[in-house]
Amino acid sequence: MMRALEKIGFALTVLVLVSPAATVFLWMLSLSLKNELDNTAWPPVFIPSPPVWDNFIAVFERNDFLLYTWNSVVVSFTATGLAILIGVPAGYGIAKMRATRAAMLILIARITPGLSYLIPLFLLFQWLGLTGTLTPIIVTHLVITVPIVVWVMIGFFEGLPAELEEAALVDGANIWQAFRHVAFPLARPGITVAVILSFIFSWNNFIFAMVLAGRETRTLPVAVNNMLTFEQISWGPLAAAALLVTLPVLLLTLLAQKQIIAGLTAGGVKGG
């Protein structure tokens, strides 16, 4: 009897813990699939019957949603790619040299509010005549992606056994070859974690693009925020747009939950 009660109590606790997260996402889905009448009904209508696609169609018809999606894709992929290109060797170097101070510098990047980079960089990009292109947005996103990649990779390379590389060095390989042919292949799982986290936090970033983007260079979070300002009460399209923006990230989280949890547990990574 006691065991059964304990089990029910535990199940209820799990339910209470999970329900705020589930509720918000389900409500987002519900709003996006209902017509305007149902969305502003009192008492609220929870289950769309029948579900309608009008809101999603409206999002694509009324806005340059495809352009903004393309911008977000370009920014997140480029910023992540560049971060991997320079961050993986850096993580390797720092791990090999046991350079604690270099690691601390990465921590400072984590502490600094995103806005504080923006004032000087905003002026710099104006002087360089780069405003209105995607370049400033990509460059500022490196502020998020490079520290994430370096941090994850330091942890990963420190965990790799040194014997294999040392064997390669003894066999006459130089340190670059040892990295390229021994450490790098072994580090693939770590790189996967770094790519996923860096992509997600770049995709989610709002503040850099909000300050730096022009009409044509908005990323999705900025575009969605603008919709709120101009369409106060049309909830259906708003919810549909919000869902479209965050859906790739949610799917990625569901698919790669193991890697994401491993990466986040190791260091409490968070961008911006």
Partner 1 sequence: MSGAATLPATAATARPRRNYARRYVWFVVPAAIVVLSVILFPWVFTLFMSAHDWKIGGGHSYVGLDNYRKLFTDDRFLWSMARTLYFTALAVIGPMVLGTIAALVFARNFPLRGLARTVFILPMMATPVAVALVWTMMFHPQLGVLNWLLTQFGLPPSMWIYDANTVIPTLVMVEVWHWTPLVMLIVLGGLASLPVDPYEAAKIDGANAWQAFRHITFPLLMPFLVVALIIRTIDALKAFDTIYVITQGGPGTSSETINIFLYLQGFAYYNMGYASAVVVVFFLIIVSLAGVLLWARNRAKDL
Chain positions 13 to 32 lying near partner 1, rule: CB under 8 A, are: 13-14, 17-18, 20-22, 24-25, 27-28, 31
Residue 22 vs 57, nearer CB to partner 1: 22
Report the nearest approach of partner 1 to the CB of residue 99 (Å): 8
Restricted to residues 69-108, the positions that interact with partner 1 (CB under 8 A) are 85-87, 89-90, 92-100, 102-103, 105-108
Burial class (CB in 10 A: 0-12, 13-18, 19+), 210: middle
Burial class (CB in 10 A: 0-12, 13-18, 19+), 230: exposed
Restricted to residues 210-239, the positions that interact with partner 1 (CB under 8 A) are 211, 220-222, 224-225, 228, 235, 238-239
Determine, following the binding rule CB under 8 A, whether residue 182 of this chain makes contact with partner 1: no
Among 67, 130, 160, 249, binds partner 1 (CB under 8 A): 249
Report the nearest approach of partner 1 to the CB of residue 50 (Å): 21
Determine, following the binding rule CB under 8 A, whether residue 264 of this chain makes contact with partner 1: yes
Sequential DSSP letters for the chain: -HHHHHHHHHHHHHHHHHHHHHHHHHHHHHHHTS-HHHHT-SSPP-S-SS---HHHHHHHHHS-HHHHHHHHHHHHHHHHHHHHHHHHHHHHHHHHHT-HHHHHHHHHHHHS-HHHHHHHHHHHHHHTT-TTSSHHHHHHHHHHHHHHHHHHHHHHHHHS-SHHHHHHHHTT--HHHHIIIIIHHHTHHHHHHHHHHHHHHHHH--HHHHHH--GGG--HHHHHHHHHHH-TT-HHHHHHHHHHHHHHHHHHHHHTHHHHHHHHHHH-----
Among 59, 134, 193, 243, binds partner 1 (CB under 8 A): 243
Residue 164 vs 261, nearer CB to partner 1: 261
By C-alpha distance, which of 119, 148, 141, 145 is closest to 208? 141
Report the nearest approach of partner 1 to the CB of residue 226 (Å): 10
Residue 75 vs 87, nearer CB to partner 1: 87
Among 37, 66, 111, 170, binds partner 1 (CB under 8 A): 111
Restricted to residues 124-163, the positions that interact with partner 1 (CB under 8 A) are 124, 139-140, 142-143, 146-148, 150-151, 154-155, 158
Residue 181 vs 270, nearer CB to partner 1: 270
Report the nearest approach of partner 1 to the CB of residue 96 (Å): 4
> At 258, which amino acid appears?
K
Report the nearest approach of partner 1 to the CB of residue 103 (Å): 6
Report the nearest approach of partner 1 to the CB of residue 61 (Å): 19
Report the nearest approach of partner 1 to the CB of residue 16 (Å): 10
